[in-house]
């Protein structure tokens, strides 16, 4: 069993056994038929993944790592807010007639700010600090810009990441305000594990820990039987992640530069209802 499976199973059991239901409360989210989408949730979930030990991807069911990386590169490398630059349709429902999701995610990372060393956007500032001042305790990216929230079609869910170098290991804390555990948990974990690997490789560091902090970790009511079945499955050992060692520039990485070796996983859960 992979550590990612162990963490996921323990988190889901805790939510199901000790979580708080929103039944009887007024909720924003709705199912496609207009019914309120209620949840059972835990506040302040913290999961730790040692990236030097294994790549944290679920084997209980497959995670589409290539699609997850494509979205990660769309936000962090292309710094785009237009779905025309994305190869999947996961953002279609949040885009306007021009394909824009507003001043969200990649848009925020692209804004340049003035520093004593010059102008940098948030991504380039991270790279600069990891190369020139890796023991800084100020290496942070934040996409939750209150002055632009009214122009975002969706407020950022995974909204900030803090990098911290210990010895030669690059660690990161990902902060997420809200998460649909069944649909998005391992998607986000795998994405930001890849991001740590990318920054570590281009800044001549080793990977350390990814700490995932979720303010509102929830399971939707219509997902409960799916989650219960999922966490009863037999997991497999963690696969190995191969990254193209020739890539030394953050902006040169492509989806095909990341390969999972010996990835075994249980059957995919199809037709998962999604609340909006």
Two structure tokens written together for 94: 């949040």
138 is in an annotated binding site: yes
201 is in an annotated binding site: no
268 is in an annotated binding site: no
188 is in an annotated binding site: yes
CA distance 78 to 80: 5
Q: Which residues are catalytic?
A: 157
Task: Enumerate residues 6+ apart whose C-beta is below 8 A from 65.
Answer: 57, 190, 194, 258, 260
275 is in an annotated binding site: yes
Task: Name the helix (H) or strand (E) containing 67.
Answer: helix 65-76
159 is in an annotated binding site: no
CA distance 80 to 258: 21
82 is in an annotated binding site: no
Task: Name the helix (H) or strand (E) containing 229.
Answer: helix 224-230
Return contacts of 16-20, CB within 8 angstroms, 24+ apart: 16/40, 16/219, 16/224, 16/227, 16/228, 18/42, 19/218, 19/219
179 is in an annotated binding site: yes
β-bridge partners, 171:
164
- Which of 71, 70, 136, 66 shows the shortest CA–CA distance to 105? 71
64 is in an annotated binding site: yes
125 is in an annotated binding site: no
137 is in an annotated binding site: yes
Q: Positive or negative CA dihedral for 86, 87, 90, 96?
A: positive
List, as residue ranges, the binding site.
64, 137-138, 177-180, 188, 218-220, 275
List, as residue ranges, the binding site for dUMP.
137-138, 177-180, 188, 218-220
């Amino acid at each position: 069993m992979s550590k990612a499976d162990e963490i996921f199973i323990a988190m889901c059991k805790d939510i199901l056994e000790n979580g708080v239901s929103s039944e009887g409360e007024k909720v924003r989210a709705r199912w496609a038929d207009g019914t309120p989408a209620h949840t059972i949730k835990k506040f302040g979930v913290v999961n730790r993944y040692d990236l030097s030990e294994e790549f944290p991807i679920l084997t209980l069911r497959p995670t589409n790592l290539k699609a997850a990386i494509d979205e990660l590169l769309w936000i962090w490398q292309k710094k785009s807010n237009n779905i025309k630059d994305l190869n999947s349709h996961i953002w279609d429902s949040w885009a306007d007639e021009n394909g824009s999701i507003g001043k969200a995610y990649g848009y925020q990372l692209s804004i340049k700010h003035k520093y004593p060393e010059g102008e940098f956007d948030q991504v380039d500032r991270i790279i600069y600090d990891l190369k020139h001042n890796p023991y800084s305790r100020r290496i942070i990216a934040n996409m939750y810009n209150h002055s632009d929230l009214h122009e975002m079609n969706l407020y950022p869910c995974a909204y900030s990441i803090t990098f911290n170098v210990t010895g030669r290991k690059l660690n990161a804390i990902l902060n997420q305000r809200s998460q649909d555990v069944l649909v998005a948990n391992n998607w986000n974990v795998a994405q930001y594990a890849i991001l740590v690997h990318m920054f570590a490789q281009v800044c001549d560091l080793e990977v350390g820990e990814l700490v995932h902090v979720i303010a509102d970790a929830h399971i939707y009511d219509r997902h409960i039987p799916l989650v219960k079945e999922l966490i009863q499955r037999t997991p497999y050992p963690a696969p190995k992640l191969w990254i193209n060692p020739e890539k030394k520039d953050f902006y040169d990485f492509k989806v095909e530069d990341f390969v999972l070796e010996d990835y075994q996983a249980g059957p995919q859960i199809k037709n998962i209802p999604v609340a909006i």
